[in-house]
Chains A and B, each alone.
Chain A
Amino acid sequence: MQKFFSNRKLIILLIVIIVSMGLMAYSVTMRNRKSATPLVQQFGNDIVGLADRVIAAPANGIKGGVSSIATLMNTYEENAELKRQVDDLAQAKVQNQTLKAENKELKKQLKLNKTLTDYSPISAAVLTRSPSAWQNNVVINRGATSGIKKNMPVMVGSGLVGRVIEVNQTNSKVQLISTDNQSANRFAADVTTKAGKTVNGVISGYDKTTGTLTLSQLNTDDTIEKGDTVATSGLGGVTPKGLFIGKVTKVKHDEYDLARSVSVQPAADLNNFSVVTVINREVGGD
Chain B
Amino acid sequence: MRKSMLQFWVAIGLVVLLFLDGSLDYLFQDHFLVYPNMMQSRLVVMAVVMLVFFLPKWQHQLVTLMVIGFLFDLFYTGILGIYIFLLPLIWLFTTYIEGFFQATLPAIGAIYLIDLTLLETMTYMLNSFMGLTDMSVATFIPSVLGMTLLLNVMLFVILYFPFRGLLLKLEMISV
- Do chains A and B interact in one complex? yes
| CB-defined contacts of B79 to chain A, threshold 8 Å | 24, 27-28, 31, 135
- Bin the interface of chain B by size: 35 or more
* Complexed CA–CA distance, A209 and B38 (Å): 12
A-B contact pairs, 18 of them (CB 8 A): A4-B96, A19-B85, A48-B71, A49-B75, A55-B20, A56-B22, A60-B23, A129-B33, A130-B22, A130-B25, A131-B22, A131-B24, A135-B76, A139-B22, A182-B131, A209-B35, A209-B36, A271-B30
Question: Shortest CB–CB separation between residue B94 and chain A, in angstroms?
Answer: 13
Q: How far is the CA of A137 from the CA of B75 in the complex (A)?
A: 10
**Chain B binding surface SS class:** helix
Given A133-B40, A136-B33, 7 other A-B residues pairs in contact with their CB atoms under 8 A: A26-B80, A60-B23, A60-B27, A128-B25, A129-B33, A132-B123, A180-B135
Is A181 touching B133 in the complex (CB atoms < 8 A)? yes
Q: Is B161 an interface residue (CB 8 A)?
A: no
**CB-contacts of B85-110 with A (<8 A):** 85, 96
Which residues of B come within 8 Å of A, CB atoms? 15-16, 19-27, 29-30, 33-36, 38, 40-42, 71, 73-82, 84-85, 96, 123-124, 126-127, 130-135, 144, 148
How far, in Å, is B133 (CB) from chain A's closest CB? 5
CA distance A135 to B132 in the complex (A): 8
Q: Which of chain A's residues 15-50 have a Cβ closer than 8 Å to chain B?
A: 16-17, 19-28, 31, 41, 44-45, 48-49
Tell me which residues across on chain A come within 8 A of B33, comparing CB atoms. 129, 133, 136, 271
Encode contact with B along A36-75: 1 for CB under 8 Å, 0 otherwise.
0000010011001101101110011011000000000000
Say yes or no: B130 contacts A24, CB within 8 Å.
yes
By the criterion CB–CB under 8 Å, are B76 and A131 in contact?
yes
Contact of A134 among B71, B80, B124 (CB under 8 A): B124
Shortest Cβ gap from B130 to chain A (Å)? 6
Pairs A-B, 9 closest by C-beta atoms: A23-B81, A130-B76, A55-B19, A129-B26, A59-B23, A128-B22, A208-B35, A20-B85, A20-B81
Which residues on the A side are within 8 Å of B75 (C-beta)? 44-45, 48-49, 52, 139
Residues of chain A contacted by B38 (CB below 8 angstroms): 133
Give residues in A with beta carbon < 8 Å to B.
4, 16-17, 19-28, 31, 41, 44-45, 48-49, 51-52, 54-56, 59-60, 62-63, 126, 128-139, 165-166, 173, 180-183, 208-209, 211, 269, 271-272
A28 neighbours in B (Cβ, 8 Å) = 79, 130-132
Nearest opposing residue in chain B for A272, CB measure: B30
Which one, B35, B41, B73, contacts A131 given CB within 8 A? B41
Question: How far is the CB of B151 from the nearest CB of chain A, in Å?
Answer: 11
- Chain B residue numbers with a CB within 8 Å of A26 are 80-81
CA distance A269 to B85 in the complex (A): 35
